[in-house]
Amino acid sequence: MFRNLKEIKGIGPAKAKALEDAGIKNIYDLLYYFPRRHIDRSISETTVFKDGQSVTLIVTIESHFLIHGKKTRLVVNARTLSGESIKFLFFHGAMYFVKVFEAGLTAAVSGKLEYRGGMQMVHPDFEFFDSDDEDALLHVGRIVPLYPSTETLKKKGLDSRGFRRLISAAFSLKDLVIDETLPETILKKHGFMQRSFAIKEIHFPENRENLNESYRRLKYEELYLFSALMHEKIKQRNREKRKLRPLAFQTSPLYKKLLSDLPFSLTDDQKTAIQEILKLSENDFAAAVLLQGDVGSGKTLAALAVMLHYTDRQIQAAIMAPTEVLARQHFKTITDFMGIQPGLHIELLTGSDKKKKKESVLEGLRSGEINCIIGTHSLIEDSVEFKNLGLVIIDEQHRFGVNQRESLRLKGKNPDVIAMTATPIPRSLCLTEFADLDLVVLKEKPAGRMPIQTMRLGEDKRKGLYKSIRNHVGNGRQCYIVYPVIDESKNDLKAAVHANEELSTAIFPEFRVELLHGRMKSDEKERIMNDFRSGSVQILVTTTVIEVGVDVPNATIMVIEHAERFGISQLHQLRGRVGRGSEESFCILMAENVTEEGEERLEALVKSDDGFFLSEVDMKLRGPGELLGYKQHGISGLRLSNLVEDRELAETAYRDIREIFELNDAAKEAIRRQFNEGVDVFPN
């Protein structure tokens, strides 16, 4: 199965190079180059057809003639097996096709029927064949696979037709062996096809039922093997000897002090989450937790509560956030909660720090004097060294690449890891992509918070919207107005910079309106955010730089311009910047000329503020890759499976791998080839 591509007739050096550049390096890769979809071009046996019906017919060519005019066209006369006459019209390439359609040839022809004084097709797909040649019907007369391709591949003849020819030739090779990956018990339990038959049927299905079964089998294989990989990663982590193991977490003076000083009580979810994480941390192996919670559920406070149990024992903790705004917000939140406490030294480290301050922080980390550091990507720089890092907390974990997260972990002594996300992750996704993490969920929101009223408005309601903002801000509240872009762009989107000028001078001259975006210098961003928190700035015109972590309880209105440009998850995160106090809050989605998918997104936001429900809708619309950032930060490796549509199959595979864990060499090889991390877990 891993044989050289050049064994296939028709693959020379140039074609082999084009295939290799596309990631197809051997026959295994070619057979796992699955169709993007299939179309049914099975032979239509009935003799009664309707106008506009798509059919595939076997015909005999009788004659042809050219009609000359402004554009020359070719008319081909043919006859079906039932004896009916039919015409084929070619407007493009007529001079080429006149040489192709010779009288007496037999062809399978697919296209849409039209009745214009008789049956005809315009530019049909066709394939000539000898009636005795069964292999000729690759492109018509059957359920036909369509393959992804690029312009480079197409130039080498590797469009869908080209791939069909090569893959068919691969199956015809002598001694082609496709080893089974699934245990016999699994095959029997679920009635799956053998792997070799499933791969052949997904490319060249005999019928629709076989095609469906091949998909079921191969989707399950992906999910079973990925579950096996996650299972092995857990065992591998458990085998790692903890170099730094704290005492059992029975008491923590700082934690008790935090609870006594809080002006509110922790939610039941927060209390449970803290205890679950601490219990996991008492094991002999490093804990790895995914702490997921909806917007406003109090993840930061829960993580702080866990962290204090480490710093109490002079074990260092690091909190890494994806943006400087969020890192500074965490620093402010935690220092506000804790104040100055003996034995607790918290510092902030970002890329914009002055050299002297940065050197002081780095020295404090090396000596162990600093036992809690909050920062951005700057934490993974080579210059950052710890004395005894025992806890790593990664906020908005999907915004970091696998290597970035691992770089921070490796700076410690096999530390415990808490990965936090405010993007609620559907259960089926947790069973696969995060199966190597212990899941801890926060759904409950702190008491006293009012629900956010979300509404969708068009341009005709803008005057009324501005009147409402004026009333609320005039009564002491604050407002965010969010734009998708900073500067004017070709697609005529309203931009933050231009809007800030108009809003501050022409619309709300009586209020202080300020602009905040990611291109500003750090000290300027910090100044504006501090002024907004203090209330001296009443209206903040901004971009998605405030998407996560920003906490200003007095801000009760969020206006999102061009809301159709944002995904559900991002809109939900932005909306979460209001509704953080005891006052009624509003989120206004301004949108015009919205696509059908965009309408579905906005309707979901208006109907629900349940992040877990919205994440299901988001994944259905965009897929798990975009939802969790795989396109930027690594590939999930699931080529066929959709973790919304195939939820039951994913959960079945997850259960099976814990009951029937059998991995032969073929299965391990498949994991190595399909999933980036498999090499380390299953060494040769």
121-156 pLDDT, tens per residue? 999 988 776 655 555 567 777 888 989 888 888 888
The residue-averaged pLDDT of 603-614 equals 87
Q: Which of the four pLDDT bands, split at 50, 70 and 90, describes residue 632?
A: very low
Per-residue pLDDT of 208-224, as tens digits, reads 999 999 999 999 999 99
Fold of 452-608: Rossmann fold (3.40.50)
Per-residue pLDDT of 638-660, as tens digits, reads 789 876 678 789 889 988 988 88
Q: Which of the four pLDDT bands, split at 50, 70 and 90, describes residue 303?
A: very high
Nearest CA among 292, 288, 620, 225 for reference residue 430 = 292
Q: Is the pLDDT of residue 47 over 80?
A: no
**Alpha carbons 266 and 258: distance in angstroms, whole number:** 11
Residue 137, pLDDT score: 65
Per-residue tokens: 133: 């040649």
Mean pLDDT over the full length of the chain: 85
The residue-averaged pLDDT of 25-45 equals 86
pTM for the model stands at 0.62
Residue 138, pLDDT score: 74
Phi first, then psi: what are they for 230, rounded to 5°?
-65, -40
How far is CA 472 from each of CA 177, 449, 475, 684, rounded to the nearest angstrom? 72, 18, 5, 66
Q: Which of the four pLDDT bands, split at 50, 70 and 90, describes residue 232?
A: confident
| DSSP SS3 for 166 | helix
Q: What is the DSSP string of 552-621?
A: -TTEEEEEETTGGGS-HHHHHHHHTTS--SSS-EEEEEE--S--HHHHHHHHHHHH---HHHHHHHHHHH
Q: Is the pLDDT of residue 316 over 80?
A: yes
| 413 contacts: CB under 8 Å, gap ≥ 6 | 242, 243, 244, 388, 389, 390
User: Is domain 253-283+297-421 given the CATH code 1.10.3720.10 in the classification?
Assistant: no
| 175 contacts: CB under 8 Å, gap ≥ 6 | none
The residue-averaged pLDDT of 162-173 equals 91
Residue 193, pLDDT score: 97
**Alpha carbons 55 and 49: distance in angstroms, whole number:** 8
**360: how many CB neighbours lie within 10 A of its CB?**
15
| 141 contacts: CB under 8 Å, gap ≥ 6 | 41, 42, 43, 56, 58, 108, 127
**663: how many CB neighbours lie within 10 A of its CB?**
20
Residue 556, pLDDT score: 94
Do domains 253-283+297-421 and 452-608 share one topology? The answer is: yes
Parallel/antiparallel/unpaired status of strands 288-293 and 119-122: unpaired
Per-residue tokens: 465: 């919207």
Are the C-beta atoms of 143 and 208 separated by less than 8 Å? yes
**Alpha carbons 571 and 565: distance in angstroms, whole number:** 10
Q: Which of the four pLDDT bands, split at 50, 70 and 90, describes residue 634?
A: very low
Q: Which of the four pLDDT bands, split at 50, 70 and 90, describes residue 627?
A: very low
| Domain ranges within the chain, ordered by starting residue | 42-141, 208-240+639-681, 253-283+297-421, 452-608
Q: Which of the four pLDDT bands, split at 50, 70 and 90, describes residue 491?
A: low
Residue 135, pLDDT score: 56
Which of 6-10, 31-35, 235-239 comes out lowest in average pLDDT? 235-239
Are the C-beta atoms of 478 and 554 separated by less than 8 Å? yes
Residue 633, pLDDT score: 35
With 0-12 / 13-18 / 19 or more C-beta atoms within 10 angstroms meaning exposed / middle / buried, residue 535 is middle
Q: Is the pLDDT of residue 676 over 70?
A: no
Q: Which of the four pLDDT bands, split at 50, 70 and 90, describes residue 389?
A: very high
Per-residue pLDDT of 524-575, as tens digits, reads 888 998 899 999 999 999 988 776 557 788 999 999 999 988 888 888 888 9
Residue 368, pLDDT score: 93
Percent of the chain with pLDDT over 70: 87
Fold of 42-141: OB fold (Dihydrolipoamide Acetyltransferase, E2P) (2.40.50)
How far is CA 370 from each of CA 123, 321, 347, 418, rounded to the nearest angstrom? 74, 18, 7, 20
How far is CA 433 from each of CA 201, 411, 436, 612, 654, rounded to the nearest angstrom? 28, 24, 8, 17, 11
Percent of the chain with pLDDT over 90: 38
| DSSP SS3 for 317 | strand
Q: Is the pLDDT of residue 109 over 60?
A: yes
Phi first, then psi: what are they for 57, rounded to 5°?
-125, 145
Per-residue pLDDT of 331-379, as tens digits, reads 988 998 888 888 899 999 998 888 899 999 999 999 999 999 999 989 9
Residue 364, pLDDT score: 95
Phi first, then psi: what are they for 624, rounded to 5°?
-65, -25
What stretch of H or E contains 276?
helix 268-281
| DSSP SS3 for 201 | helix
Residue 351, pLDDT score: 84
Q: Is the pLDDT of residue 683 over 50?
A: yes
Residue 635, pLDDT score: 38
Per-residue pLDDT of 67-85, as tens digits, reads 988 888 999 999 988 888 9
Residue 673, pLDDT score: 84
Parallel/antiparallel/unpaired status of strands 555-560 and 478-482: parallel
